[in-house]
Chains A and B, each alone.
Chain A
Amino acid sequence: MDKVSLELGRGEILGLIGENGAGKSTLIKVLAGVHKPDSGRIIYGETEISIPNPSFAKKHGIGIIYQELNIIPGLAVQDNLFLGSESDLGLIKGEKEKNKARKILDTLGANFKLSQNCSELSIAQQQLVEIAKSLLIDINVLVMDEPTASLTGHDVKHLFKVIKKLVSEGLSVIYVSHKLEEIEELADRVFIMRDGKHISTKDKNDFTRNQMIEEMVGRKLESEFPNSVSEPGETLLKVEHLSYKKIISDISFLVKRGEIVGIAGLVGAGRTELVRLIAGAEEPTGGSIAINGKIAVIKCPADAMLKGIGHIPEDRKDQGLILEQSVLENFSLINLRSHSSYGWVWNTKLEKKLGDYKKQLSIKYSGSQQKIKNLSGGNQQKVVIAKWLERSCDLFIFDEPTRGIDVGAKYEIYELMMMLLQKGKSILMVSSELPELLGISNRIIVMKEGQLVGQFDDLTGVSQEDVMQLCF
C-alpha cells in the first residue's frame, strides 16, 4: 500500500473496489489492527489513533466482516455471538445480553432462534450472525469484504436492506466488492484502488460502470463479454431423468458440441449437485447420462475423466487445487497416467507441456516449482483449465468459473471459454452471476429446489428479471 488517503463520513457507504492484489485487503487489515502501517495516520472522530491489535479496533467501534465467515458451525447462535466477550469467569452472559442480541437479530430480520446451532443455518443466515456480532458492541464503522460472494439474489436484497437501515441510523460502511452492480446500487461514493495506490474517488453518479472497470484495470475495455462465435454441432451430453437422493429429481437436458449451457438458480437449488453427478463426484440414484449417444456409467471422478468430462469445481481452494503443491504438480496430477510409463513420471515432458500452456493461455507464474497458492485467482483458474485441456476433455464443467477473480482476469477466462468452443469443446456452466450467464451462454436452464423449472434456448431479448422470476 502506498500513501492511500481515505475519508469516510458518518452514515455513508463507501464502495471500495479494485482488482485482486490492488491493496483492498491490506487497507482493511490496517483498519482492523492486523497490520501496522509504516507511515501515515488514522484520525477517528476528532482524535488521532493508532490501532495496535484487532481487539482494540473492536473496542473502539470498528467492526470488520471478512469474506470467510468467522462462525463456528458446532456452536449455537448465542455462543457464537458472545464468543470472546464472555465474562471473566468464562460464563455465558445472562438474560439481559440475550435480549439485546434478540433485538439486534430482529432488526436484521433474522428468522432463526438464538439457541439454534449455526451448522443448521444457511450462509446468508450465518452472515447475519456475523453482522449481529459486530452490532453487539456498538460500532461506528463497519467494513464488509465481499459479503455477497456466496449469496444469491434474494439474500443479497435482504442484506442490502439491512445495510441501508443501519446506515440510516448513523453507521458508516466500507463495502468491498467485485460486483459492480452492487456498488452502483449501494454506495454513495466509490473509492478505486490499483497496485496499492488510490486511483480516484467519485460520487457514484459520476461514474459509469465501464469507467470504473477502466480505472480498476488501468486500460480501456472493449466490453464485459467476448462475442460468441461458435456454431453448436451434434449432441455431446444427454442427461435423462437424473436423480440424486432428495436433492435432484428427474432432470433432463442436453449439451451440444461447441456450446455453453448455463445453469441458473439460487444457492441450494441443486445446481452444484447436478454437475457433481455428471462429473462423478457423486453417484446418481436414478436416470442416465449419455455421452456421444452412448450411455456412460459414471461412479467416480475417474470414470468421468475417462469419458472426457473435466470438472472445474466451485471452490478452487478446497476442491480444485492442492495449495501447498507447485504449479507443475497441480497441472500434472490428472495427467500422470498419460505421462508416465510403468509408474515412472516423465517430469521434463510435463514441464514442457506446462510451458506451452503458459504461453498459450498467458498464465503468469515465476517458475513451475512456485507454490500455486501464491498465484492470483485468475492464474490459478487458468492452471486448472490447462490441466483439463491437456487431458483432452470434450465437456468442461465450470462451477462458478469467475468467483474471486478480478475484472480484468474475468474477461480472459471468458476468452478462454470461447477458445474451448472453437476447438469443438462444450461447456456446462453454473453461475450465480446473471450478467455472466446471459453474457456468454448459448442456452440457459433454470433450476429450483432440485428440479428443472425453465429453459431459454434463445437468449436474445432475455433479461435478468426473466431468469430471476423462474428462480423464485
Chain B
Amino acid sequence: MSSWKILLSDYGIIFILMGLIIFFSVLTIEKQNIIGADAGIFLAEEVTQSGRQGKILLVTSESLDDQDLSQAFKANLGSQYEIIVIDKGPPATRNQIERDIENGDVPQMIVTSTKVYRWLLFQDFPNHFPELSGVPLINQQTSKGSNFLKRENLLNVADQIAVIAIMAIGMTMVIITGGIDLSVGSLVAFSAVLITKLIQGYFGAEAATEFEMVLAGFITVVMCGLIGLLSGVLSTYFRIPSFIVTLSMMLIASGLAYTISEGQSIYHVPDNFVWLGRGRIGGIPVSVIIMIILYVTANILMTKMVFGRYVYATGGNKIAARLSGVPINKIVTIVFTICGLLAGVGGIILASQLNSGSPTYGLAYELYVIAAVVIGGTSLMGGEGKIWGTLIGAFIIGVIQNGMNLIGIESYTQKVILGILILMALIVEKARKRS
C-alpha cells in the first residue's frame, strides 16, 4: 500500500468532517455586508468597471472601518481619478455637493459606504439634487458568502470545542488501554468550582493576582490528577473494572463540586480570569492555542515515545504486553492520571470562558468526549486509535453543533440530530474500514 492510501484509511474520517463543513457552508450562504478594506477594494473595482473617469466623490463616516475603506479605495484606483473624500457628516457633504453644482464641477460618480448610504440625504438623492440625475451613486457593498466559513465563526467552532477536545486526549489514551473514564464530566464541574472557590476564598476574590490564579489553577489540576490516579490504582491493582471505578468517581467528584460550592455558582473572580477562556493571542483564542499544544505533545508521546508504544501494547494484548516486560499496571495508572489532569484543565478553561464556577458544569461531557474519541476511530476494545483522529472527531461534533446553531435549529432538536449524526459517522467509518 502506498503511503497516501494508508493515510486515507487512517484518516478517512477527515472526509466526513470536510463533508459536514461543505454542507453547513452551503446552507449558511447569504448576503454578506463587506466592510473595511474589502469594501474599498470592491468599490474601486466597481468604479474601474464603469469606465468613467475624472472626479470621484467618496463619502464615508469617521468610523475605523470606513477609514480602512477609503484608504483601500484610493490605493486601488489609478491616477486618472481625482478622488475627493468627505467624512464630516451629512451637512458637510451637502455643502460640498452644492458647491460643486454651483461651480459646475459635478463629480463623475459618487461612492458611499453602507453606513453613509443610509443617510436621508442619499435615500432621497434624486429629489435633493435633480441636477445630478446623471451621476451614478455607488453603494453596493454586499456579496454572497457563507456565515459558517467566516474567520470569526471558524475560530468560534475551535473555541467552543476546545474543552471537549482537550479532555478527549486523555480519554483516547484510556480507551486505547482498553479502559473507560466516565468521571471526566464531573471532574470538569469539580475543577471549575475548585479553582473559583480557591480564588474567592483564599486568594482575595476579585483582588487575586495573576500568580495566585496560576497557583489556584495548579492546585486544581493536581487535585483532578489525583482523582484520576485513584481511578487508575483501583482499576489496576484492585482489579475493579474501570467502568465501575469511574462511575463511582463521577458521583464522588460531582458531590464534591456541590459540597465545595454549596450548590451555588461562584462569581467572585478577578476580571482577567477570563483571559484563558476568552483571551486571544495574535487573534487566536488562548483555549485553542492550549488545545493545539496539548495535541501536538500527546501525538508525539503516543507515536514517537516508548510510553505510547506501551499504551498501545497494553490495550492490544494485556497478557502479551506483561510477558514482554511492559509495566501494564503502571501504564494504565498513568493514563488515568493524565485523563484526570486534562479534565482539570478543561474545567478551568470552561470556568474562565463563563467567568464563574458552578457544580452544574460539564453535564454529560463524558459522553461527548467518548463520542469524539470513538468517531475519531479509536476502538472501544482497546489497542487501536489515533490522537489526531480524536481531534477530528471533536471537530465533527463542534461543526455539527455550530452549524445547527447557525441555521437556527432549536437546541432540543439539536440533541436528537447530533445523536443521529454521530451514529451515521460511525456507520460510514465502519463501512469504510471493512472495504
Contact = CB atoms under 8 A, between A and B. Distances in A.
A343 B310 CA distance: 11
The A interface is mostly helix, strand or loop, or mixed, namely mixed
Contacts of A324: 316, 383-384
Contacts of B384: 324
B324 interface: yes
Interface string A302-331: 100100000101000011111111000100
A375 to B, nearest CB: 15
Contacts of A311: 323
A279 B384 CA distance: 28
A442 interface: no
Nearest to B312: A325
Interface in B340-392: 383-384
B325 A305 contact: yes
Interface residues of B, number: 22
A329 B325 CA distance: 14
Interface stretch (A173-181, A333-341, A416-424): A333-341
Nearest to B301: A343
A333 B305 contact: no
B154 interface: no
B307 interface: yes
B41 interface: no
Contact of A343 (B305, B322, B324): B305
A279 B324 CA distance: 10
B120 interface: no
A284 interface: no
B323 A325 contact: no
Contact of B305 (A305, A329, A344): A344
Nearest to B6: A369
Contacts of A334: 324-325
Given A318-B320, A320-B320, A322-B317, A329 B309 contact: yes
B325 A302 contact: yes
Interface in B288-305: 304-305
B420 to A, nearest CB: 30
Nearest to A370: B1
A301 interface: yes
A332 interface: yes
Contacts of A149: none
A74 to B, nearest CB: 17
- Residue of B306, B316, B319, B384 ringed by the most chain A CB atoms within 10 A: B306
A6 to B, nearest CB: 32
A203 B305 CA distance: 59
Given A318-B319, A319-B323, A325 B306 contact: no
Contact of A322 (B6, B305, B383): B383
A468 interface: no
Contacts of B417: none
A358 to B, nearest CB: 19
B317 A281 contact: no
A324 B433 CA distance: 14
B321 interface: yes
B161 to A, nearest CB: 29
B323 A281 contact: yes
A279 B323 CA distance: 8
Contacts of B263: none
Interface residues of A, number: 29
B204 interface: no
Contacts of A325: 312-313, 316, 383
A323 B315 CA distance: 11
A151 interface: no
B413 to A, nearest CB: 39
Contact of B323 (A320, A323, A337, A347): A320
B316 A344 contact: no
A297 interface: no
Given A318-B319, A343-B305, A301 B325 contact: yes
A345 B320 contact: no
A369 B2 CA distance: 12
A321 B317 contact: yes
Contacts of A321: 317, 320
Contact of B307 (A319, A343, A387): A343
A323 B307 CA distance: 19
B56 interface: no
Nearest to A313: B323
Contacts of A281: 322-323
A343 B306 contact: yes
A324 B327 CA distance: 20
A337 B327 CA distance: 12
B326 interface: yes
Contacts of A301: 322-325
Contact of B313 (A279, A319, A322, A369): A322
B331 to A, nearest CB: 12
A369 B7 CA distance: 13
A260 B355 CA distance: 71
A332 B305 CA distance: 12
Nearest to A281: B323
A322 B320 CA distance: 7
B381 to A, nearest CB: 9
B317 A323 contact: yes
Contacts of A344: 304-306
Contacts of A387: 324
A383 to B, nearest CB: 12
Given A340-B306, A344-B305, A345-B304, A318 B325 contact: no
- Residue of A319, A344, A347 ringed by the most chain B CB atoms within 10 A: A319
Interface string B53-76: 000000000000000000000000
A302 B321 contact: no
A319 B384 CA distance: 18
Contacts of B317: 318-319, 321-323
B229 to A, nearest CB: 20
B257 to A, nearest CB: 35
B309 A333 contact: yes
A322 B325 CA distance: 14
A359 B384 CA distance: 30
A215 B81 CA distance: 95
A319 to B, nearest CB: 5
Interface string A215-243: 00000000000000000000000000000
A345 B327 contact: no
Contacts of B324: 301, 333-334, 387
B320 A336 contact: no
A336 B331 CA distance: 15
A324 B314 CA distance: 12
B260 to A, nearest CB: 37
A345 B319 contact: no
Contacts of A319: 317, 319-320, 323
A321 B312 CA distance: 13
Ranked nearest first, the 9 interchain pairs of A and B with the lowest CB-CB distance are A322-B316, A302-B325, A322-B317, A334-B324, A343-B305, A336-B306, A305-B325, A333-B324, A319-B319
Interface of B: 6, 304-307, 309-310, 312-313, 316-317, 319-327, 383-384
Given A321-B320, A345-B305, 14 more contacts: A301-B322, A302-B325, A313-B320, A318-B317, A318-B320, A319-B317, A319-B319, A319-B320, A322-B312, A324-B383, A325-B313, A329-B312, A340-B305, A344-B305
24 contacts: A301-B322, A302-B325, A305-B325, A313-B320, A318-B319, A318-B320, A320-B323, A322-B320, A322-B383, A323-B316, A324-B383, A325-B316, A329-B312, A329-B313, A334-B325, A336-B310, A340-B305, A343-B305, A343-B306, A343-B307, A344-B304, A345-B305, A347-B304, A369-B6
